[in-house]
Amino acid sequence: MPRDGTATRERILDVAERLMTDQGYNATSLDQVIAASDSSKGAFFHHFRSKSDLALQLVERYVRADLAHLEEGLAAVADIDDPAARAVAFVRHFEDGADELMAAQSGCLYATVLAERELVGTEIDAQIAKATVAWRDAFADLLRPALAAAPRHVVVDAEHLADHLYTTFEGGFILCRTFTDPSLMRAQLQVFRQLLESLLTSGP
């Protein structure tokens, strides 16, 4: 076997992810990616069949990292016994990591590729939906016992409430971009955590 190309491949993926989440999919040209990754046309098309193939491989890698973050969050609250406290702590875990998240990335790759209709209906969609469902299911499992044990009868749908975390993340990214202020992500996650705390712990 000849020389190892995984380093080049990773470098291209890293650069492409940064550029595309920053500027958008179509706004990022392959020449730009190639130049920024100190690579070449030949190297690029050796590792990727096309630009949309790059997008797919990018999303697959992003999904893996996303699901890892989910597992990390679940593990961090697994030892909390009280259902309500556990669900709230789960959100707080990401609230605490918000600043770090925004320092690492200026947007979400999901929103980036979903903004371009040409990538919809492909394998990319399925990957994003898969990850989003994983978050919904996992968080809903935390929420259901908490909702059942709430001081007052709560009629909120657990899955829609679980989806609201994804909504807060995605909406938070856009809010941050609107005001060029990364700290607003933490603020929005905090608001959601406080709202959830009120729902799950306050009496009638």
Partner DNA sequence: TTCGTAACAGACCGTTTGGTCTGGTTTTAA
Partner DNA sequence: TTAAAACCAGACCAAACGGTCTGTTACGAA
In whole angstroms, how close is the CB of 30 to DNA at the nearest point? 4
Length reported for the chain: 204
What the block records as the tokens of 177 is 């971009």
Half-sphere exposure of 153 (CA within 13 A, CB side): 1
Angle (nearest 5°) at CA 132 between 154 and 135: 55
In whole angstroms, how close is the CB of 7 to DNA at the nearest point? 6
Contact of 136 with 45, CB cutoff 8 Å:
no
CA–CA separation, 92 and 95 (whole Å): 5
Partner whose footprint covers residue 111, from a second copy, DNA, none (CB < 5 to 8 Å by kind): a second copy
State the alpha helices, DSSP H only, in 24-122: 30-36, 41-47, 51-77, 83-96, 98-104, 109-114
Please pick, from the candidates 15, 19, 20, 51, the single residue that binds DNA as defined by CB under 7 A: 51
Rounded to whole angstroms, what are the CA distances from 21 to 13, 26, 154? Answer: 12, 11, 38
CA–CA separation, 189 and 4 (whole Å): 42
CB contact set of 144 (below 8 Å; sequence gap of 6+): 158
Partner whose footprint covers residue 183, from a second copy, DNA, none (CB < 5 to 8 Å by kind): none
Any contact of residue 41 with DNA (CB under 7 A)?
Answer: yes
In whole angstroms, how close is the CB of 35 to DNA at the nearest point? 10
Partner whose footprint covers residue 202, from a second copy, DNA, none (CB < 5 to 8 Å by kind): a second copy
CB-nearer residue toward a second copy: 85 or 175: 175
List interacting residues with a second copy (CB under 8 A): 22-27, 107, 110-112, 114-118, 120, 128-129, 132, 152, 154-157, 160-161, 163-164, 166-172, 174-175, 177-180, 184, 187-188, 190-192, 194-196, 198-199, 202-204
Please pick, from the candidates 16, 17, 21, 39, the single residue that binds DNA as defined by CB under 7 A: 39
Q: Which residues bind DNA (CB under 7 A)?
A: 1-9, 26, 28-32, 39-43, 45-47, 50-52
